[in-house]
Amino acid sequence: MILPEPRGPLSERLVAALARPPLEGARTLACGVPASTDPLLDEDHQLSLFVCYQLHYSGFDEVDDTWEWNPALLALRAELEAGLEGALRGVCAGLGWEEPAAAPEVPVRLSGMVRSVGGPSLSAFMRRRASFGQYREFAKHRSLYHLREADPHTWAIPRVRGRAKAALVEIQADEYGQGDVRRTHSTLFATTMRGLGLDARYGAYLESVPAVTLALNNTMSLFGLHRRLRGALLGHLAAFEMTSTGPNRDLSLGLRRLGAAAQVRHYFDEHVEADAAHEQIAARDMCGSFVADHPELAHDVLFGAAACLRLDRLWAEYVLDRWHRGVSSLRAAKAVTTA
């Protein structure tokens, strides 16, 4: 993965610094983060944070690995994270996560949050109306997560214990194909991408996706890299699993409508079966058990679920708005139709 093109003064400064040795580049990072009126849609903010987080995953080809824990970079990242977390708490206000919940109530509260999500259904559009070109766009958006699927949530494994840990590991083991690389969900999605005529290398479409797509990924990394937010990470995963079965069925049926081969649809078909089982494990055994051990963190679990649901809705609204106007949902392609 190579460093992306900047999207503003902050990411320009960051990318330039990372291209240099840490002792030299760190001196240029002390200027602080510009104020943003909407961090979730701020291209410069979200790209800069994504670049910082990528150093904790597979990194960048031309960047010195010692940048990962550079104090100047971590200070910059902390400012960016404060903006993202503040924005998340703002857009999630009123969704009920602030209300107290005992452990037995957590699965019910999570189910209620999932049912209360409004807004347009992107998966229903994909099933009935999406073109092949729109499926290609969808896959480009989702590739930043699905080509490293499960990795952000795996950060929680050493941070929880007991039944919550066992439930989390059960879910993650399925995501990683039970040890068979051919069955890992990232491998299955790469097969889908190649079947759609796309580049299946991780990060190949980083330049194309907008800030709201980066925010989806950055939120998972924010929750995963901070132990204080481990409850939010579990809640996020639970909401993710609880909203997966129906949409993946729709996505597979839409590809069938377009004549896609079975191997192209297999990623989505696999999730229809796997996530139906994961839903109960995530809500009851993982989140319920975690809150039983840490009752003071119930609101964090519900906040993480709210953040997942709210961001997914914002992203769906963004994509559908552009498609309904006959333009691409990707960057640098605003004048290209997707019919």
- Residues 6 or more apart in contact with residue 55 via CB below 8 angstroms: 63, 65, 67, 68, 73
Q: Classify the C-alpha dihedral 280-281-282-283 as positive or negative.
A: positive
Tokens of 40: 């979730």
Full pLDDT tens readout for the chain, 339 residues: 999 999 999 999 999 999 999 999 999 998 888 889 999 999 999 999 999 999 999 999 999 999 999 999 999 999 999 999 999 999 999 888 988 899 999 999 999 999 988 778 999 999 999 999 999 999 999 999 999 999 999 999 999 999 999 999 999 999 999 999 999 999 999 999 999 999 999 999 999 999 999 999 999 999 999 999 999 999 999 999 999 999 999 999 999 999 999 999 999 999 987 767 899 999 999 999 999 999 999 999 999 999 999 999 999 999 999 999 999 999 974 333 333
Measure the CA angle with vertex 264, ends 277 and 199; round to 5°.
115
The predicted structure's pLDDT at residue 118 = 77
Q: For the chain, what is the radius of gyration of the CA atoms?
A: 19
What predicted TM-score, i.e. pTM, was given to this entire model? 0.95
The predicted structure's pLDDT at residue 9 = 95
Contact (Cβ atoms closer than 8 angstroms) between residue 76 and residue 29: yes
CB-count exposure of residue 339 (10 Å: 0-12, 13-18, 19+): exposed
The predicted structure's pLDDT at residue 208 = 98
CB-count exposure of residue 335 (10 Å: 0-12, 13-18, 19+): exposed
- Residue holding tokens 């990924």? 217
The predicted structure's pLDDT at residue 336 = 38
Give the helix, strand, coil percentages of the chain, each rounded to 5: 70, 0, 30
Measure the CA angle with vertex 219, ends 213 and 222; round to 5°.
140
Measure the CA angle with vertex 125, ends 315 and 147; round to 5°.
50
Provide the CA 62 distance to its chain's centre, in angstroms. Answer: 25
